[in-house]
Each structure stands twice: as structure tokens, then as C-alpha cells.
Structure 1
């Protein structure tokens, strides 16, 4: 996408405040803490957009490409389910709307290197994949909103965005709430600990063995929170995002932060003066079963046409290791992160693989 030819200065109001922010952007509009449900006509050149204050869980950061009236057709999400014909129409309506508008809105949770906002640009492995995949579907613009991890699926089902771009693990309880694409990224678990690893921690099992002497931080709603619960770890601190997890370890409020190993390594390498380090990656074992970590893109259950079209484009990438690495390699992902061809979402949703 050629963004250099489309530079604007847009003046935006921060939600619920009177101060004005002016941003120089390349085909990008950023709204700080803006409630997507109130976008209306979107960002206007040098024209303030005023929105009423919303509860904390509904505030989010919006960036990347021209912000248009992405929710102008929100009524399509509420079509009647009184008949199978209506269901089919509703299913197709979302995909048709996105193609007509040429824009899709995805949610992220600032987990690097999967997806995050840097300045006025969305970056990360899932963002790179989505720009490629949605362009192949005829949807050229990808807009991003940033929310807390635990609010991703509720916000999706409330119609605040069209998909989740966060490398979210495919888990049975999540599959009951939303529809997951075919697997996109495999990962392992790691621990972030204070520099020198004074507790000598290596895995979550070592946290269990330390008894009450170790306080563990996990992402609220993350897969590691489930591991901690299954292992009976009681001294747990829940954080809303990866940055908060690193902070509680660096500030001595937690002895370890459990998360995907690639995310922890990325943070440690890019924050060398914080005073933390990471353990070797490991595959957690629960009740004698290795836990398979596979992430994918998330859609609403009723948007089956959108999901099917997405999976068709995704297969052209995951079926070609060179194409896969061309998109995600710069973010530290390797061929080991490429899902095996015989791994299915159905297996993971059924809990058949740990």
C-alpha cells in the first residue's frame, strides 16, 4: 500500500477531555481512548470529533489507514435470526459490508511481537499477516483498536470491531464464545524473571515447587492464567497487558511473569536496562499432557462467510513456509512457529491436544 502520497494533519479530541492533539500521519488516523461505537462519520480533516466519555473497558486506541464510517452499517450485525434464510443473509452481510467499504477493524492487546501500536503505526506479525490476507480478500485497509486482553472477545461480540488480531490461543472455552480461524502461529511458554534469576525458576512446575515463596504474574484471561489455576498456584498477580507484566517483575512486585516465550524475549531484548531476563522456552505439562499452544484470528460465530474467506487466503501463506517467513520473520518468528498441516482448529476447540 502506498501511504506516502496521502499525508494529512488531523485534529482530534481525546475522549472526555478538552485538549486537542494534532498528528502528522501517512494515510493514518489515530484516536486516543476513543469509543468505537461512537465514531459516526470517522475522522475529518482538521475538524474536531467530540465523543462522550465511556467506561474504562470501552476505551481503546485506534490507528492505521484512513478512518472512515466503519460502523455505519452496524445494523447489519443485528439482522433477525428468525429463519435460516435470515441467518444466511446475516452471515454474508458482514463480508459484503467489509468488501464494499474496503476496510476492516481489528482489535489488538499490545502483545509484542504479535501486534502493537508504535507512534501512529500498527506493527507486528499478525498485523503483517492480516494486511496480506485481507488485501487478498479485497479489503485493502486494516484499522486497529487497542483494548485490554480480557476485553477482546466481549468487544468482538458487542460489534465494536470485526476481528481480533492478537495471536489468541485456540482453547475450548474460547471456542464456545467466538469462531477461530485455522491455526496461524505455534508458540511455547516462558518466564520473565529479575536479572540473575534469584529464585532459580525454569518452568511453572518450579513455581509450584517453590510453594508460597514465589509470586507469579500472568495476563488476565491469558492461557498462562489457566495453567496457573490448573497447577494450583495461589499467589498470582493478574495484569492487563505485557508491559504491566514486565513492570511488576522489574519493580519487585512479582518474582516471575509467565507468557509466550517469543513475547518475553522480544520485550527483554528491546528493554535491556529494565533489569529482567527470560528463561528458556518450555511446553507446559498439565495432568501429564503437553499443552499445545496455537494462536489464530478470531471472528464472531455468525460471520462464517468471513471466516471461510479468511481461511482460504490464510492457507496460501501457511502452506508456503517462504511466504510465511517473509511476513513474520522480521518479528522473530521462525519455521518452528509454522503450524503443522495436520493441526486443526476443531481438534484444539475439542481439547484433544492438551
Structure 2
């Protein structure tokens, strides 16, 4: 649930057999856990101690605004980076640096020890939870539609697109592509959010589906408001099931002390609406993106259980 779903593509094809031997999801308060040591320390505790001693951590990013990216001056920024900095400051780790890699290289890079956390707003999905440890949820994703100004085809949901036969474009690997496939909606695919915007602006597509926060950011940064608009966010319903999506920080399964320490500080922020908006509001996030209820339950998200649409 660019949820890039936040990218729904599975990672099995790019993971090694050793990485695939990881298993299980954790509780909502501690995320996934394991007994083996991380790539940077044994017994689940070595990584946290190492990072505290160094005073710095490197996180893996995909370079996607507004989650985690390098700004025009080359500074690491974004909503998940802001959350990281607030959390790690409390853990005695003053500096957060980033290494940008392709989306499908984030978990493999983490497992290989190229960085010690994935900070990209990655959705907690069952197959991913079997490969790495997801933190307490950081951000909730809802879908929105990018349409020509005035919304001439009156599109507000994925069901509207299916019913109207509108020409849909999605980003390759994004969760919205999966929604379309499951609903039998034909779609064009593009490699970037900018390409999706261009498709709608040029008339090659009637609608571009992506997460609401991504579309709002896209229109703002591209100064595209005169030609297109973003519909209100909605929870997609596929085959009678609401598609719940929430992103989290991702750790190696063996790094249990790091994960638990991170969760303890992160939960304080997420459970405080004012503090949450203070940290991520400047990146366009609102109360609607703050995890609550089942969207704040890592184990539930990792289970893949979806509620019936009301």
C-alpha cells in the first residue's frame, strides 16, 4: 500500500535460500523476532550496542518522496527518516545516514548487512514478514485516484474504474496494480509516479491509482494542480475484503534488542497524535495516516487477514 506499496511485489525471486529460511511474525508491540544473531551482532543484541557505540546508523531507502529520499541538496529526508531520527535520538544514536537501492533490493540488502534498517514505509505483508522483522506500524496507506481536473468520469474507487471501463494506469509493482489484477481491471503500467501523472495529463490514461499521500505529494511537487486533481482517499475493497495497508521500519530477524528498543520509542510517537503530526505533518501526512486499531497491530498485518467490507 513510489504502499511502491507500498510495493506488493514478492521478494522470493531475489532472496537467497539462507534468507528464505527466516520465519514468523511477532506481536503488535515487538514486531517479528528471532533467536539468531543479526548480520552485525550475535544473540540479537550486538547490533544495538554497536550502533550506540558508533552513534550512527545507516538505513536502506528507495528514494521515494515523501517517505525517505535525498532532497535537491543531497540531504536525507522524508517522513520515515524524521521518525527514525526521533526514535534513534532517544536510543543514543545521533546520526542517521541512508543508502539508496532498488525496491526489490531493500530486504536482501538488509539481510546482507549493507544497512541495519529499511526506512521506506514498507507494507507489512505476510511474505515479507517471513523474511524480516517489521516494527510497530508507522504509517497507514489509503488509495486515491489521480484524474483530470473536474473528474469527468466521476471516478472515486477501484469499483468505479471497473464499472466505467476507464483506462487505468498503475505503477509497476505497486499494490494498486495487484488490486486491478484481482478485480479483472485492465491496466497500463509505468515505472514512476511522474510517468503516471504524464499519462493522465496527456490523455493516454483516464486515471492513475496510487497511495493518497504519494499522489498528493506528486501533484504538489510537480505543480500539476491546474490539469489534474486527487480524489479523496479510500480503503480499496477487493473481492469483498477491505485492503488494509500499513508501513513499518524493517530489521533483520536476529536484531531483537534493536527492534524492541525501536518499538518502545516509536509507539510513544504513534500513540500521541500531536507528536506524530509534529514529526511527519510537514511531509503532508495527516491524522488519517496515523496507525490505529488493527492498522497498529503488526501481528495482524503480518497474518494477511482482511476484514469483510461493511
Query: Normalization by structure 1: what TM-score?
Result: 0.68
Q: Rg: which structure is higher?
A: 1
Determine if the alignment matches structure 1 residue 314 to structure 2 residue 281: no
Over residues 293-316 of structure 1, what are the superposed CA-to-partner deviations in whole Å (9 max), with x where a residue is unaligned?
211111122222211111011122
Determine if the alignment matches structure 1 residue 120 to structure 2 residue 90: no
Determine if the alignment matches structure 1 residue 182 to structure 2 residue 133: no
- Go from structure 1 to structure 2 and tell me whether the alpha carbon gap of 1:283 and 1:333 turns closer, same or farther (over 3 Å shift): same
- Go from structure 1 to structure 2 and tell me whether the alpha carbon gap of 1:89 and 1:159 turns closer, same or farther (over 3 Å shift): closer
Over residues 177-212 of structure 1, what are the superposed CA-to-partner deviations in whole Å (9 max), with x where a residue is unaligned?
22110111123101123444454432222222244x
- Go from structure 1 to structure 2 and tell me whether the alpha carbon gap of 1:225 and 1:94 turns closer, same or farther (over 3 Å shift): farther
Gaps of 5+ in 1: 1-76, 78-83
Gaps of 5+ in 2: 1-18, 20-34
Does the 8 A contact of 1:99 with 1:138 survive in 2? yes
Query: What is the Cα-based RMSD across aligned positions, in Å?
Result: 2.5
Does the 8 A contact of 1:178 with 1:301 survive in 2? yes
Query: 1:267 corresponds to which residue?
Result: 218
Which whole-Å CA distance do the structure 2 matches of 1:253 and 1:299 have between them? 40
Query: 1:32 corresponds to which residue?
Result: none
Does the 8 A contact of 1:150 with 1:221 survive in 2? no
Which whole-Å CA distance do the structure 2 matches of 1:207 and 1:99 have between them? 50
- More deviation, 179-188/272-281: 272-281
Over residues 234-279 of structure 1, what are the superposed CA-to-partner deviations in whole Å (9 max), with x where a residue is unaligned?
333142x433433443345543322110220122123224733212
Does the 8 A contact of 2:170 with 2:176 survive in 1? no
Determine if the alignment matches structure 1 residue 192 to structure 2 residue 146: yes
Query: 1:216 corresponds to which residue?
Result: 169
- Go from structure 1 to structure 2 and tell me whether the alpha carbon gap of 1:100 and 1:332 turns closer, same or farther (over 3 Å shift): same
3-state DSSP of counterpart to 2:215: helix
Query: 1:171 corresponds to which residue?
Result: 125
Does the 8 A contact of 1:169 with 1:223 survive in 2? no
Query: 1:16 corresponds to which residue?
Result: none
Once the two structures are TM-superposed, the CA of residue 164 in structure 1 deviates from its matched residue by 1.5
3-state DSSP of counterpart to 1:329: helix
Runs of 4+ in 1 over 6 A off after TM superposition: 84-88
Alignment of structure 1 residues 243-258 onto 2, 5 Å: 243-258=194-209
Once the two structures are TM-superposed, the CA of residue 90 in structure 1 deviates from its matched residue by 4.6
Query: 1:108 corresponds to which residue?
Result: 61
Query: 1:63 corresponds to which residue?
Result: none
